[in-house]
Amino acid sequence: MAPAARAVTTGLQAALRGGLALIYPPTCPGCSGAIADPHALCARCWSGLHLIAPPCCDRFGTPFAVDHGTGVLLSPRAIADPPVFAQARAVALYEGVARDLVQRLKYEDRLDLGPVLAGMMAGAGAELLARADCLVPVPLHRWRLWRRRFNQAALLARRIGRIAGRPSEPGYLARVKATRPQVGLSRVARATNLQGAFRVPEAMRPRLQDRRILLIDDVMTTGATANAAARVLLRGGAAAVDVLTFALVAEEIG
């Protein structure tokens, strides 16, 4: 397209967006209140997020209630039971507004929440994204995908990849076992439930070799899903696996 034609097209698109904004003003995806900028939270919903900031556990990303000093900080859980993945980071604790946003995206087909969550995840995971070769969403089993109609992790991975300039590779990991829902299960039961759930397709193994993977999901609870997926990716040839989620269930804050 010639520069002049491109400029005209860009101008028309901007005018169309402006006209639509007058007819349908942007609303907060958290509470549906009026906001100035699309794909953003209002001040009230933003203040309702328990954002995770340093100091936090270097491995799980769990925030500490007090500053324990400089250097690498590890939670008691990370010391006693180190995860398979290298590092995990999240935007906020899984409570209040954060929990509502995740559940609306996952169970109410609120695909408009994708850009909002992905933008915040890209910020929280900037360090992990900088060293990642590609993003891999935690996959759903085909029957669950059929019932839900979309994979929220894949949606987030695509959005984050566009922001960070990193490819999303959903084909690197497949869910081959229809596991029971993890809700209500203990940490041990979750790990047992996920045994044999993931597999790296044979056709993808050559492409996976020596790549640093950033695993994408909406929520980390006990880390069982991330551990199971990371273990399979590492056995398949990945150099390392980090994890980025929107929310984190903090079992311990010390």
| Strand order through the sheet with 88-93 | 88-93, 240-248, 212-220, 134-137
User: Percent of the chain beyond pLDDT 90?
Assistant: 56
pLDDT digits (tens, 9 = 90+) for 85-113: 999 999 999 999 999 999 998 888 888 89
DSSP 147-169: HHSS-HHHHHHHHHHHHHT--B-
Q: Which range has the top average pLDDT, 7-21, 68-82, 104-118, 208-222? A: 208-222
Q: Is the pLDDT at 5 greater than 90, yes or no? A: no
**Residue 190, token pair as written in the block:** 């979750």
Angle at alpha carbon of residue 86, lines to 82 and 92, rounded to 5° = 90
Q: Is the pLDDT at 10 greater than 50, yes or no? A: no
Indicate the pairing of strand 240-248 with strand 212-220: parallel
The lowest-confidence range among 13-17, 63-67, 207-211 is 13-17
What is the residue extent of each domain of the chain?
1-47, 50-248
DSSP H helical ranges for the chain: 3-23, 43-47, 76-80, 96-107, 113-124, 126-131, 142-148, 152-164, 187-193, 205-208, 224-235
Neighbour tally for 174: CB within 10 Å: 17
Q: What are phi and psi of 51, to 5 degrees?
A: -70, 140
Q: What local confidence, expressed as pLDDT, does residue 182 receive?
A: 62
pLDDT band of residue 7 (cuts 50, 70, 90) is very low
Q: Give the pLDDT mean for 167-183.
A: 82
Q: Give the pLDDT mean for 194-203.
A: 88
pLDDT digits (tens, 9 = 90+) for 126-154: 999 999 999 999 998 777 766 777 789 99
Q: What local confidence, expressed as pLDDT, does residue 18 receive?
A: 45
CA dihedral of residues 116, 119, 125, 131 (deg, nearest 10): 140
Are 248 and 170 in contact, with CB atoms under 8 Å apart? no
What CATH code would you report for 50-248?
3.40.50.2020
